[in-house]
C-alpha cells in the first residue's frame, strides 16, 4: 500500500503502485513554438526527468513510459534518426543520476532493430542499475502491445512443440508470465497526454483493468501538478475488476 499527499491539502490518498504514461504531443508543442519536431522531443526529456522525480518522491513502485512504438519507424527518416541520437544522449546523461537515486532502468521492446551503438548503451545502463530496489523505470522502445503478446504466444508454442506443455494447460496466468513487465505489480493507472483518447498499441495485455486518465496537456508541459491531478483522479475511482463490489485502489495493487 502506498499513499500520496496533495501539495494543496493535508489529505492523504491511496495511490497507484504502477503508472504507465503515453507521452504524446512533442511534435505539436514544437510546432506551436515555430520549431522542428525534434525540438519538442528534446523538451520532452525534461518532462521525463520531472516525472521520474515525482514518482520517486510519491512512492510509486514502477513507472512505464511509451517512448517509441513499433509504428514510429514510419515517421520521416530524419526524425527517427534524431530520436535515436536523443535516446543515446539521454541514456548517457541520465543513467548515473538514476543509479544515484536507486532507480532500476529497464528497456522493453524489440531492441534488435536498434543500432549496435544504442543496444550497447541500453545493455550498460540496465547492467549498472539492475540491483537497485527503488523505482523501476521501464522505457518502452520499439515496443508494441501486439508484438508483446505474440512473443509470449510463440514462447508457449515452442514449449508445446517440445512436448513440455500441453495446449489444454495454457492459461491466462501462464501467458501473463511471458509478456513484458510480468515481474512487476499490475499497471494501475494509464496517463495519456496530448488530448488523444486511444491506447495506440501500448501494453494491451497489461492494462486490461487499468484506470485511464486523459489530459490535453502536451507532454513537454506535463509537470508535477498535472501528475498530481492524475493521482487524485485515480483515488476517486471505484475499481471492481469485473465484479460488483468496489475494490480500494491500494487493495488492488
What cell does 235 get?
483515488
Cell 492494462 belongs to 207
Check: CB of residue 192 under 8 Å from CB of residue 214: yes
Q: Is 186 left (phi over 0), alpha (psi -120 to 50) or beta?
A: beta
Length, in residues, of the chain: 253
Exactly one of 24, 26, 138, 142 is catalytic; which is it? 24
Distance CA 61, CA 63 (A): 7
List beta partners, residue 106. Answer: 138
Look up 72 and say whether it is catalytic: yes
| Number of Cβ atoms within 10 Å of the Cβ of 117 | 11
Q: What is the CA radius of gyration of the chain?
A: 19
Look up 24 and say whether it is catalytic: yes
Exactly one of 72, 132, 201, 232 is catalytic; which is it? 72
Nearest to 230 by CA among 28, 54, 10, 2: 54
Which residues are tagged catalytic?
Answer: 24, 72
Amino acid at each position: 500500500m502506498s499513499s500520496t499527499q496533495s501539495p494543496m491539502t493535508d489529505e492523504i490518498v491511496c495511490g497507484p503502485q504502477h503508472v504507465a504514461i503515453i507521452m504524446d504531443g512533442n511534435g505539436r508543442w514544437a510546432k506551436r513554438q515555430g520549431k522542428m519536431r525534434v525540438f519538442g522531443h528534446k523538451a520532452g526529456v525534461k518532462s521525463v526527468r520531472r516525472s521520474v522525480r515525482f514518482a520517486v518522491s510519491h512512492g510509486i513502485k514502477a513507472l512505464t513510459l511509451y517512448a517509441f512504438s513499433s509504428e514510429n519507424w514510419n515517421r520521416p527518416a530524419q526524425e527517427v534518426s534524431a530520436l535515436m541520437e536523443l535516446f543515446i544522449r539521454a541514456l548517457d546523461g541520465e543513467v548515473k543520476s538514476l543509479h544515484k537515486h536507486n532507480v532500476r532502468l529497464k528497456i522493453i521492446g524489440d531492441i534488435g532493430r536498434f543500432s549496435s551503438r544504442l543496444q550497447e548503451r541500453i545493455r550498460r545502463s540496465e547492467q549498472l542499475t539492475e540491483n537497485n530496489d527503488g523505482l523501476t523505470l521501464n522505457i518502452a522502445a520499439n515496443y508494441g502491445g501486439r508484438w508483446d503478446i505474440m512473443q509470449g504466444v510463440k514462447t508457449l508454442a515452442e514449449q508445446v512443440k517440445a512436448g513440455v506443455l500441453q495446449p489444454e494447460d495454457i492459461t491466462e496466468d501462464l501467458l501473463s508470465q511471458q509478456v513484458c513487465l510480468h515481474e512487476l505489480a499490475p499497471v494501475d493507472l494509464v496517463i495519456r497526454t496530448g488530448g488523444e483518447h486511444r491506447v495506440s498499441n501500448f501494453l494491451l495485455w497489461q492494462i486490461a483493468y487499468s484506470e485511464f486518465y486523459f489530459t490535453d496537456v502536451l507532454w513537454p508541459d506535463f509537470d508535477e501538478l498535472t501528475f498530481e491531478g492524475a493521482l487524485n483522479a485515480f483515488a476517486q475511482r471505484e475499481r471492481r475488476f469485473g465484479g460488483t463490489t468496489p475494490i480500494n485502489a491500494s487493495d488492488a495493487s
